[in-house]
Amino acid sequence: MASKVIMPKLSPTMEEGQIARWLKKEGDKVSMGEPLAEIDTDKATMEMQALANGVLRKIIINEGESAPLGQLIAVIAGPDEDIASLLSEGAAKPSEPAKAPAPAPAAAQTEPEPEAAPAPAESNGHAKSAAPTSSGRMIVSPLAARMAAEAKIDLRTLQGSGPNGRIIKRDIEAALKTGVAAPASTEATRFQPAAVATASAYRDEPATEMRRTIARRLVTSIGPVPHFFLTTEIEMDRAAEMRKGINALDPDLKISINDIIIKVVANALVQHPGVNASFQDKFIRHYEHADIGVAVAIEDGLITPVIRAADQKTLSQIAGEVRELADRARSRKLKPEEYTGATFSISNLGMFGIDEFTAVINPPEGGILAVGAMTAKPVVRDNEIVIRQMMRVTMSCDHRVIDGATGAKFLQTVKKILENPLYLVV
Amino acid sequence: MATLTIREALNQAIREELTRDERVFLMGEEVAAYDGAYKVTKGLLAEFGPKRVIDSPITELGFAGLGVGAAMVGLRPIIEFMTFNFSILATDQIINSAAKMLYMSGGQYNIPIVFRGPGGSAFQVSSQHSQAIESWYAYFPGIKVVMPSTPADAKGLLKSAIRDDDPVIFIEQERMYGNKGEVPDDPDFTIPLGVADVKREGTDVTIVARSLMVPVALKAAEKLQEQGVSCEVIDPRTIRPLDIDTIITSVKKTNRVVLAEESHPICGVNAEISSQIMERAFDYLDAPIKRVSGVDVPMPYAKNLENMVVPDVDRIVAAVKEVAYID
Amino acid sequence: MSKQTAEPRTAAAAEDQSSTGVLDDPPVDRKALGKERDTVKEQQKSRIGDLDPEILIDIYRQMLLIRRFEEKAAEVYVAGKIGGFCHLYIGQEAVAVGTISAIRKDDYVITSYREHGHAIAKGMSAESVMAELYGKATGCSKGKGGSMHMFDKEVNFLGGHGIVGGQIPLATGTAFGSKYLGTDQVTLCYFGEAAVNQGAFHESLNMAQLWKLPAIYICENNRYGMGTSLERAMSIHNVAQKGDGYGMASEFVDGMDVLAVREATLRAVERARKDYLPTLLEIRTYRFMGHSMSDPGNYRTRAEIEKYQERDPLKLFMATLKEEKIVDDKALEQIENEVHEQVEAAVKFAEESPFPAPEELYTDVYANPIDPSKK
């Protein structure tokens, strides 16, 4: 049975993809799950797997060429099977990007995982991960469907326990229980699981009318995300000492000042849930953990790999992860879930000798901290002029969710901990 | 409160209504001198005399029509069918005359009549004497159809039926005549038609059952409770008009439904209830509605085969487990 | 009556059929027919006795009204003003008028679907009957019954009933009611000879005689059950004789002589009122029209139709009244005019009446409606 290979959706924002490399050539036998090609998306180079058994009979999109989502890029079929009709079909009409969970054709194909538009009322905005049933059709009892809609649970994240995998009431109840999640509207104190398994859980609180009015008015003033900026200067001597001390314990740790900043910011964020938040039009989403996006410059752009739950990780864990993610970011090997869904970001241009700058928020995050270079400066301490390692940071805040005082208090905490890193262990 | 059998409760209801209203009379085969083929009318001839309690010839179409005619001129007949199997002979008068008279006369002639007698499965009397035909009558607008399951319901509902100004089909269950229960003594105790009764409260599965299936469903519910499944048992009591609201309320709570009946499944009352639940509570269903019905064959004579036809506790338990997703 | 198509004709019968839809064989012997008619007329004259001329004229007027009403009904039916079945009573007027002239206003009348004549004879207005044919809100059954289901509780007219024989057990019940309640109201129950073959007839006669109920069972023997002659449908052609099977008094009556009908009914009414005894009357009559408006009537011979038309109960009675000098031409003309006005007024009333309001669709289903949602 001949099967079409189409350009898959490999990132949430991908609209077209470029074939970086075919890993099989025409005439090669392929089996399901085998890597078939590498595809450059807007964010990363991703591996595409074959979803059918057979022979790679025809490559339609060659290396270096691009194709929109859903377009036929190759055909897998039996060695002698007639694929003319499939080819002419592909030529006649470029396939439309998949919009909805379409019923799967008889043979498996590289059907892109359907992605809901960011519509907060209907979905939690995270990528869908669970697979539909073997028939390709999701089986849900009417009640379970309704409960899931009300609790904003993505049914595709669930495994049905009823006959033929039917998702039933108890599956939803189990999801609500184990996922520490409940309908945000009724139980504001509980968090519900994000669709990306490693991402922070969150709870949604309805945005008040006042909050929405503020949001509306600010947006009309300065673009869709109304930024404002808070700058402070932090004395980094003790942080630097601590770094030196830790690295002296084990030279392999290679803790950087930036790692310390990540940890401190993460700790400050969980102390200031108002900042670890995101404006979602009708509600404000508060995250349980601080997932810190770390801006990494790469050859022709910028990507922000995410340190999940940085508030719960040790400095050495953070340091290791940052290094590993940055390396892969530079070689464009990040998976989408590794660079999406941060709750707050940090951009550090200190290594470029920048003293102070403002960074642009990565929506829907509520803020980003722009970190400048650490430099020795004369400062007044106890009426005496002394030399201290000073670092200027500027926080960009989404005014729809963070007000001036909220941001300032958060920054105060960041400053306090960085200046007295012992707070990290207190 | 007195403890009575359903037979005694029905007898009491008829006796009280004969006493209460001179226009009420009782007619049927063997209702008078023989004291009733099933002794429901025991002692009534002696008490009320041959004018009020009348043995009819075996002439179902004739005396059913006679009852309707008498109702047209102001009487309130209770017409007993020795069993509802024989009412099949009288369907022209029940359906074409009783049910439609008020409508086709433009509201001039209502028919206050009760057609009553045992229906449903009996014991080893084979195909012609053992069947449930309530869905035939429930099909027709203009008729009310009542099926009691307890002595108190039997009495309260029969009294309401006799006092009602419309034709009422009142189907008793032969197998249940000896069932006992508490019955209020108040001679004005009635139960309104068209009101379902929650016979047992529960949270996991709604079982809708009528007539003979009510005690069977209650036994099943008890058994299931031991296994941690909480069943709500609803007896609609009146099939037409049907108190669907009570059923829907329960379904919204439990999300799962088993419908039990002795009758054949095709075009049966539960097919209708099932459809109405689907129309009104679709989004509350966690499992397909499950019917437990009489097997779709004429009733056999042999005891073992007969036992296979009428739904029992095990079949209801199995259906409940199926809708509750319990292996 | 639910049967809509006529008995399938044989090819031979179809060829013999004249343009009028009636079989031409055998040839008509008009002389013989005239002789027979004169015999009947003489018998009728002998029945006038000392009857009040007012009653006689009223009987004539009733018969004429029914005749003209039915002619009008046929006219508006053909014009598409009324729908459904329409079973006309033309030719049988003497039965309804003769029998009902013999009872009181509070007596019960119940009949089959060929009931326009009985309704008018029982005292229902031509307006309410015509409006019912039109399916109007002012009809006797509010437009819900139509031609076959006319009711009027005011005059104890308990309806036209559509299932052949279905009204016979009902009549047994109304008679039972009279006896139970101790009134002396009698019930007249009409049906065609074809209904005699139904179980309902036999079950009813058995109960009525067994329990001595004041019911008068009136078989209007018009010789055809739709297209099937009684000879082709009945093992014993004499309907009156069937009363013997139940020990019930029965009588054969000439249905073309309204006074003969009246006399026989009076005898039956006396039995019923005095002794709660039922009677079976077989009244031999003839319908001049088809079974219904959709019946071409091609199962009858011209000779047969002419035979009965010679004895047209209306013409016969008019001739008797004239010859007995109870009415003159002028009086007859005046009656004719008045009846004409009455029928025209009925049509006008029906035409101008409103159709039932849509909400009427849902009323009258139950006398005590129960809405469980409002319990």
C158·B246 Cβ contact <8 A: no
**Is A227 a catalytic site residue?**
no
Q: Which of residues 262-301 of B touch A (CB under 8 A)?
A: 282-287
Least CB-CB distance to C149: which of B59, B73, B105? B105
**Is B129 a catalytic site residue?**
yes
Contacts 24+ apart (CB under 8 A), B222-230: B223/B313, B223/B317, B224/B317, B224/B320, B224/B321, B227/B326, B229/B204, B229/B205, B229/B320, B229/B321, B229/B324, B229/B326, B230/B202, B230/B203, B230/B204, B230/B205
Measured between CA atoms, the residue of chain B closest to residue A146 is: B283
Chain C residues close to B72, C-beta within 8 Å: 158, 170, 173-174, 177
Residue B4: per-residue pLDDT = 97
Residue C124: per-residue pLDDT = 98
List the catalytic residue out of B17, B129, B134, B262. B129
Question: Is the separation of the CB atoms in C51 and C266 below 8 Å?
Answer: no
Measure B247 CA to nearest chain A CA, in Å. Answer: 16
Q: Which of residues 54-73 of B touch C (CB under 8 A)?
A: 56-57, 59, 61-73
Question: Is the separation of the CB atoms in B65 and C170 below 8 Å?
Answer: yes
CA distance A265 to A269: 6
- Of A390, A409, A380, A163, the closest CA to residue A273 belongs to A409
Sole residue written with tokens 């003489």 = C42
Residue A86: per-residue pLDDT = 79
CA distance A202 to A287: 4
- State both tokens at B265: 């499944």
C177·B107 Cβ contact <8 A: no
More confident of the two residues C334 and A10: C334
Most C CBs within 10 A among B63, B105, B273, B276, hence the mutation to make, goes to B105
Collect all residues with Cβ–Cβ distance below 8 Å to A383 and sequence separation of at least 6: none
Chain B residues close to A144, C-beta within 8 Å: 286
Least CB-CB distance to B106: which of C141, C371, C373? C141
What is the band of A196 on the pLDDT scale with cuts at 50, 70, 90?
low
Instruction: Verify A-C touch: 3 or more CB pairs within 8 A.
Output: no
- Pairing state of beta strands A202-206 and A54-59? unpaired
Number of other residues whose CB lies within 10 A of the CB of residue B47: 11
Q: Give the 3-state secondary structure of residue B173.
A: strand
Please report, as a single letter, which amino acid is at residue A98: A
Q: What are phi and psi of A235, to 5 degrees?
A: -85, 120
Report the pLDDT averaged over residues C273-285: 96
CA distance A127 to A194: 9
Residue A104: per-residue pLDDT = 40
Share of chain A above pLDDT 90, in %: 31
CA distance A274 to A277: 6
B283·A146 Cβ contact <8 A: yes
CA distance A28 to A42: 29
Length of chain B: 327
B285·A168 Cβ contact <8 A: no
Max intra-chain CA distance, chain A: 89
Question: Is the separation of the CB atoms in B9 and B155 below 8 Å?
Answer: yes
pLDDT digits (tens, 9 = 90+) for A388-403: 999 999 999 999 899 9
Measure B126 CA to nearest chain C CA, in Å. Answer: 26
Residue C239: per-residue pLDDT = 95
B112·C367 Cβ contact <8 A: yes
A21: contact with B, CB 8 A cutoff: no
B97·C166 Cβ contact <8 A: yes
What is the band of A120 on the pLDDT scale with cuts at 50, 70, 90?
very low
Which of A47-56, A129-138, B65-74 has the weakest average pLDDT?
Answer: A129-138
- Cα A334 to chain center, whole Å? 11
Residue A193: per-residue pLDDT = 66
- State both tokens at B183: 């019955």
Q: What are phi and psi of C220, to 5 degrees?
A: -85, 95
Residue A97: per-residue pLDDT = 41
Measure C191 CA to nearest chain B CA, in Å. Answer: 15
Neighbours of chain A (3+ CB pairs under 8 A): B
Collect all residues with Cβ–Cβ distance below 8 Å to C42 and sequence separation of at least 6: none
Most A CBs within 10 A among B205, B325, B326, B327, hence the mutation to make, goes to B325
B228: contact with A, CB 8 A cutoff: no
Chain C residues close to B71, C-beta within 8 Å: 173
More confident of the two residues B43 and A329: B43
B29: contact with C, CB 8 A cutoff: no
CA distance C333 to A173: 91
Which of A247-251, A358-362, C3-7, C52-56 has the weakest average pLDDT?
Answer: C3-7
Distances (CA, A) of A12 to A16, A110, A335, C21, C140: 11, 16, 11, 84, 74
DSSP-assigned letters across all residues of A243-306? HHHHHHH-GGG---HHHHHHHHHHHHHHH-TTTSEEE-SSEEEEESS--EEE-EEETTEEE--E
DSSP-assigned letters across all residues of A298-325? ETTEEE--EETTGGGS-HHHHHHHHHHH
- State both tokens at A149: 């809609």
DSSP-assigned letters across all residues of A179-211? TT---TTT-TT--B--SSTTSPPEEEEEPPHHH
CA distance C304 to C286: 10
Least CB-CB distance to A168: which of B283, B284, B287? B287
CA distance A261 to A279: 24
DSSP-assigned letters across all residues of A217-241? HHHHHSSSS-EEEEEEEEE-HHHHH
Residue A117: per-residue pLDDT = 37
B109·C151 Cβ contact <8 A: yes
CA distance C132 to C127: 8
What does pLDDT average to over chain A?
80
- State both tokens at A413: 């905490």
B181: contact with C, CB 8 A cutoff: no
Please report, as a single letter, which amino acid is at residue C78: V
H or E segment at B206? strand B205-209
What is the band of A221 on the pLDDT scale with cuts at 50, 70, 90?
low
Residue B307: per-residue pLDDT = 95
Which of B97-106, C20-29, C304-313 has the weakest average pLDDT?
Answer: C20-29
Report the pLDDT averaged over residues A320-337: 87
- State both tokens at C5: 């198509």
pTM above 0.80, yes or no: no
Number of other residues whose CB lies within 10 A of the CB of residue A131: 11
Measure B252 CA to nearest chain A CA, in Å. Answer: 9
Q: What are phi and psi of A34, to 5 degrees?
A: -75, 140
Residue C21: per-residue pLDDT = 57
Neighbours of chain C (3+ CB pairs under 8 A): B
User: Residue A193: is the preceding peptide bond cis (ω within 30°)?
Assistant: no
Measured between CA atoms, the residue of chain C closest to residue B94 is: C166
Measure B205 CA to nearest chain A CA, in Å. Answer: 13
Neighbours of chain B (3+ CB pairs under 8 A): A, C
Number of other residues whose CB lies within 10 A of the CB of residue A223: 9
Measure C25 CA to nearest chain B CA, in Å. Answer: 41
In this model, does residue A91 exceed pLDDT 60?
A: no
A142·B285 Cβ contact <8 A: yes
pLDDT digits (tens, 9 = 90+) for B232-258: 999 999 999 999 999 999 999 999 999
Query: Across chain A, how many H-helices and E-strands are there?
Result: 9, 19
